[in-house]
Structure 1
Amino acid sequence: MFSVNRGAFKIVEELMSNPEYYGVGVEKVEGGGTIIDAGVKVRGGYEAGLRITEICMGGLGKAYLTVRWYEDLLLPTVVVYSDEPCIATLGAQFAGWRIKVGDFFALGSGPARALSQQPKELYAKIGYKDESDVAVIVFETDKYPSADVFKYVADKCGVEPSNVYAVITPTSSIAGSTQISGRIVETGIHKLTELGFDPKKVVYGAGAAPIAPIHPKFTRAMGRT
């Protein structure tokens, strides 16, 4: 079975090997894993946001940038598609893991959820569990996770803390806004699932959504996205 964490890690390696191009920062946490910063201490950008969208989908989806008219407004738009939409979205991308360790709180999305099985009811419904010695998680936050956060995630995922890779995407950054809009297919499939539709019957998925202009204040940025 395809490993969404292994699939995502290939894209993480691409970001880490080209930090200047993607506008990201890479930091090792003593006693923990690795932070890939896409907008806290660094600029980030559309390219980082597109790759993070694909990371969230565990390597089972693609994202690209275009522009579209919305009445009289021309906006950048992310287009997302997947040939394995159930696992890519509900099994990886869905922000279904609430993580609170000390004063750190964030919603966790991405393939690490498929190791920790968060939430369990959803994974029972889609019948998927990943096996991997590396865990990739995406946090929508403007705070760096501590070593304790890495240990918590590692324990839940059954991996070593040094093998946890945390991608940080503040909502007030271009990368953050891009990856939020990149959840357009996931939003639709999750809604169908909530209405009682079997998500495993969704064979292909594609969608497009405008990318909201960013705002420096987190709450205002959340309102826009």
Structure 2
Amino acid sequence: MISSATTPSGISVNASSERLVAQLIDNAKRLSVEVTKTHAGTVIVDAGVNCAGSAEAGLLIARICMGGLGHVARRIAFDPQPLWPSYLEVHTSNPVIACLGSQYAGWSLSATKEQTGGKKFFSLGSGPARALAGKEALFDELGYRDRHECGALVMEVDRLPPQVVIDKVLNDCGLAPENLVIAVTPTHSVAGTVQVVARVVEVAMHKAHVLGVPLEEIVEGSGSAPLPPPAPDGIEAMGRTNDAILYGGRVYLTVKSDAAAKRLATELPSSNARDYGRPFAEIFKSFNYDFYQIDAGLFAPAEVWISSLESGATYHGGQVNKALLDTQWRALGVTA
């Protein structure tokens, strides 16, 4: 748990990401996204439902998800035998607020078919507007809430949100309709794939939280993960993006104490989980597509380095599973 006294004061994830949101909207044509407004004035940025979207849009949305408190970049691997030719790098000096207070997809937003006038809707909201609503118990544990007149939310879903869901977000965040921006990024889209893989550090932070490691211990976070090609459907996309982190993700954390460093190096890697070793899409199918039946310990990076400020020592745990990724991704006709 982190108390309000140790939460960085004066940080507004919505204010910090406002400039990035403006860039996304102002450069819509170049980024291949579509910007529309509801009758009341709420801005909807479609980054892959009815338009192509782009990797660059995904990078910008990933930075928005982190509340403007992180750097996200796409790199090309020049190693003789790279894990994958394209990968993402992520860094934040405010890992608790950037990752758990903003980026984490923890806000459940749903509507029945009666409410939508068609079919039911479900999405997990991520991004800075979560900290305005504060509907998750996680915010009480973080001791963090944001107050700002504008907000941005990201929905990883394959359709645009119905008005009933938009109204709920506005009400819970206390925003005027014209001051809310919602970006929609289907997992199988280019932008969606990028913004999911960019969660490599967030996944490590969430696992640390699940393990009960005091979050105030973690002061810096960096990571990388291979960027797979977008998939033709949502299930396959979920499989590829999860495999990228669980079997190819590498994270480097700086913590305060040796005790925390040793524990995280030992317990954080995904290889500790019961379900480790099979492609995520296969695991998901084996549990009848019930996400919550999967061992929660699986959701972690493959390999970690943890440095201690107390002693200066660095501890290492886990390793990437290149063989599994090769088997899955070379089946697409791509060779290393």
TM-score by length of structure 2 reads 0.64
CA distance in 1, matches of 2:190, 2:33: 12
Q: How much has 1:70 moved relative to structure 2?
A: 9.8
Instruction: Give a deviation string over 1:153-198, Cα, whole Å, max 9, x none.
Output: 0111111222211000010111100110100000001101100111
Aligned AA for 1:99?
A: L
Aligned mate of 1:92, from 94, 97, 102 = 102
Q: How much has 1:32 moved relative to structure 2?
A: 5.2
Aligned mate of 2:135, from 104, 111, 118 = 118
Q: What corresponds to 1:173 in structure 2?
A: 189
CA distance in 2, matches of 1:184, 1:73: 16
| Mapping of residues 138-149 of structure 1, within 5 Å | 138-149=154-165
Does the 8 Å CA contact 2:84/2:226 hold for their aligned counterparts?
no
Q: What corresponds to 2:88 in structure 1?
A: 78
Larger RCO, structures 1/2 (Cα 8 Å, 6+ apart): 1
| Mapping of residues 35-74 of structure 1, within 5 Å | 35-68=44-77, 74=84
Instruction: Give a deviation string over 1:71-116, Cα, whole Å, max 9, x none.
Output: 5653311101011111000000000011002322111001111011
Instruction: Give a deviation string over 1:26-66, Cα, whole Å, max 9, x none.
Output: 01011351111111111111111111110000000010110
- Is 1:29 aligned to 2:29, yes or no? no
CA distance in 2, matches of 1:70, 1:29: 50
Q: What corresponds to 2:24 in structure 1?
A: 15
Does the 8 Å CA contact 1:54/1:62 hold for their aligned counterparts?
yes
Does the 8 Å CA contact 1:32/1:148 hold for their aligned counterparts?
no
Does the 8 Å CA contact 1:126/1:200 hold for their aligned counterparts?
no
Instruction: Give the match's secondary structure for 1:74.
Output: coil
User: How much is the aligned-residue C-alpha RMSD, in angstroms?
Assistant: 1.5
- Is 1:223 aligned to 2:239, yes or no? yes
Q: How much has 1:22 moved relative to structure 2?
A: 1.3
Structure 1 residues 203 and 70, CA, compared in 2 at 3 Å: closer, same or farther? farther
Instruction: Give the match's secondary structure for 1:204.
Output: strand
Structure 2 unmatched ranges of 5 or more: 1-9, 113-119, 242-336
Q: What corresponds to 1:130 in structure 2?
A: 146
Runs of 4+ in 1 over 4 A off after TM superposition: 69-73
Structure 1 unmatched ranges of 5 or more: none
- Is 1:5 aligned to 2:14, yes or no? yes
Structure 1 residues 29 and 189, CA, compared in 2 at 3 Å: closer, same or farther? same
Structure 1 residues 172 and 214, CA, compared in 2 at 3 Å: closer, same or farther? same
CA distance in 2, matches of 1:89, 1:46: 20
* Pairs aligned (count): 224
Aligned AA for 1:101?
A: A
Instruction: Give the match's secondary structure for 1:99.
Output: strand
Q: How much has 1:128 moved relative to structure 2?
A: 0.9
